[in-house]
Amino acid sequence: NSFVKRTNTCGELRSAHVGQEVTLYGWIQYQRQGMFLVLRDFQGLTQIIIPQDEAHSHVKKLLSDAPVESVVRVTGIVSPRPPGQENPKMPTGDIEVKVETAEILNSCKKLPFEIKDFIKKSEALRMQYRYLDLRSFQLQYNLRLRSQIVMRMREYLCNLHGFVDVETPTLFKRTPGGAKEFLVPSREMGKFYSLPQSPQQFKQLLMVGGLDRYFQVARCYRDEGSRPDRQPEFTQIDIEMSFVDQAGIQRLIEGLLQYSWPEERGFITTPFPSMTYKEALADYGTDKPDTRFGMKIVDIGDFLRRLDIRFVQNALSHPCGAVKAICIPQGVRYLKNKDLESLKESAKSLFNQEIVEIILRPDGSLKSLLTKFLGEKQQSELIEVLHMQVDDVVLLAAGEHKQVCSALGSLRLESADLLEAAGLVLRDPTAFHFLWVVDFPLFLPKEENPTELESAHHPFTAPHPSDTSLLYSDPTKVRSQHYDLVLNGNEVGGGSIRIHSAEQQRFVLEKVLKEDSEVLSHLLEALEFGAPPHGGIALGLDRLISLIVDAPSIRDVIAFPKSFRGRDLMGNAPDYVTPEELEPYHIQVSWLHAEKDAKKS
């Protein structure tokens, strides 16, 4: 209550305040028949008793006529609630304030929706009137918790470990590789700035500049179009250190999260478990495994290899062929036939992968297309290999290893959703399972042209020390010093040890990635002036906070988010500008094409 006119907030009055005169400011949440109202501010609710005597008739009329969500000041005496009328669900439920004077500071017009968490509102309407949606308890809680966590992170990094908070430019130039960047026109004809997708180059240059330890709550930008649960502008906790290795970065982040973790979300234990990229793909079908539940992918290639099953033999005859399966516990009991058909259709449409199902009946026999190839003994062995129980359903896939794993990894998550929707609890909603994924490949084949390579992380990532020689002979086999932090199946951070040799960085850009190194000449030159070994990481703050508060979308932890299509529905941005405003930037809009594009979208 410092610096303001109120004596108390609406969430702090208790029985100890009885008899005191208080002044409260807030919004009218609810008003009933001119008898009482509930006043709300950022901290809570207080019941206000409207006076009924003639001497206070003007106060009664003022408060009775005020629309819901009007802003008011009330001054009155704190009183105990009558016996039996206490509300144990409200922190202020033992008291009420009997009004003596009041003032309407601003009346509220008819609302587009009620300011209550349990009232269903379309997300488009919520975003159009975001300033009203921000009054809800949940968004207030989310934003305040986010602020507290960021403050604790600053304390840990700056006060305890000597990091320097540095702001880096948001107007820069294009970075080769990675996500698509927003362009900003300049007054020099044909020249554009780019909004950086991360402060990657600047934080490396700060290490060359001898700052030793850098961090920033960084605004980042990616022009990724319409992607669900992504934002064109987002926030990272960005970190870089000199003279550090992978283990050092990992220990720093574990300590940072443990220090800033909210008490009400329990305790997180460190060190976090670690898994290689190869293990993650083989066991979970993804590089961001949700380890809160089992249903791991099982390799049954060796068992089926000796059987004369054509599609199995076809798959295993290829060098990267595999036959794998997942076991859905109690699938017969919890999943309908249409659910199983939906899972198989999903694998077919998303991964072009056929799925064979196997069901263990109560009599111990198997129901499957495979049974005609299996004797009684082989059926028993298969049940043992897959650890099947009665009413379990196994989904089996055969084909190229990565495709099979990816398909089964996706089906693992889909079937977990179906099981939980049917009432079987697999994932504890209060559990937080952190995991480091390490030893990623340094390069991956480009999807559009598999003969060419692209960086799996970004072009500044250093090769694994054991694989450095392979960089020059067989780059496809090189592991990187790239590490991702995963929480409950979501990537919440990613980083790497960087290349600090100009010669090696130039080789990667020019010879492996076939990029024009001239775009990065400033960085390459900096690496020639005694660049220290360095590495870092960035934590996705929006994603991390959304998982901590169990928000359905990252938009629920951002004060003013963009829509699914990247639009600001409240301010109607992006918006048109006049030809006169574009003239200094030497840009003309082809309105014919713009109108066609608008009609398409």
- In this prediction, residue 120 carries a pLDDT of 79
Task: Give the CA count within 13 Å in the CB-facing half-sphere of 141.
Answer: 12
The mean pLDDT value for 223-237 works out to: 84
Pairing of strands 192-194, 183-185: antiparallel
598 band by pLDDT with thresholds 50, 70 and 90: low
Return d(Cα 480, Cα 440) in angstroms, integer.
6
Domains and CATH numbers, the chain: 15-106 (2.40.50.140), 141-270+481-502+517-556 (3.30.930.10), 293-422 (3.30.1360.30)
- In this prediction, residue 597 carries a pLDDT of 61
The mean pLDDT value for 375-389 works out to: 92
Interaxial angle between packed helices 137-154 and 541-548, expressed in degrees from 0 to 180 and rounded to the nearest 10? 120
List the one residue out of 60, 138, 48, 62 whose CA is nearest residue 95: 48
594 band by pLDDT with thresholds 50, 70 and 90: low
- In this prediction, residue 92 carries a pLDDT of 97
- In this prediction, residue 287 carries a pLDDT of 97
Q: What percent of the chain has pLDDT over 70?
A: 97
What does the CA dihedral 474, 480, 484, 489 come to, rounded to 10 degrees?
Answer: 30
The mean pLDDT value for 179-202 works out to: 93
- In this prediction, residue 297 carries a pLDDT of 97
In this structure, is the dihedral angle defined by the CA atoms of residues 212, 207, 271 and 197, taken in order, positive or negative?
A: positive
In b/e form, how buried is each residue of 524-560, taking b as 16+ CB within 10 angstroms?
bebbeeebebbbbbbbbbbbbbbbbbebeebbbbbee
pTM, entire model: 0.93
Q: What is the mean pLDDT of the chain?
A: 94
399 band by pLDDT with thresholds 50, 70 and 90: very high
Return all residues near 288 (Cβ < 8 A) that are at least 6 apart: 280, 437, 484, 486, 489, 490, 491
Return d(Cα 405, Cα 281) in angstroms, integer.
6
- In this prediction, residue 486 carries a pLDDT of 98
Query: Environment class of residue 179 by beta-carbon count within 10 Å: exposed (0-12), middle (13-18) or buried (19+)?
Result: middle
Q: For the chain, how many helices (H) and strands (E)?
A: 19, 22
Pairing of strands 192-194, 274-276: unpaired
User: Taking 60 as the threshold, does the pLDDT of residue 596 lie above it?
Assistant: no
- In this prediction, residue 12 carries a pLDDT of 96
User: Taking 70 as the threshold, does the pLDDT of residue 406 lie above it?
Assistant: yes
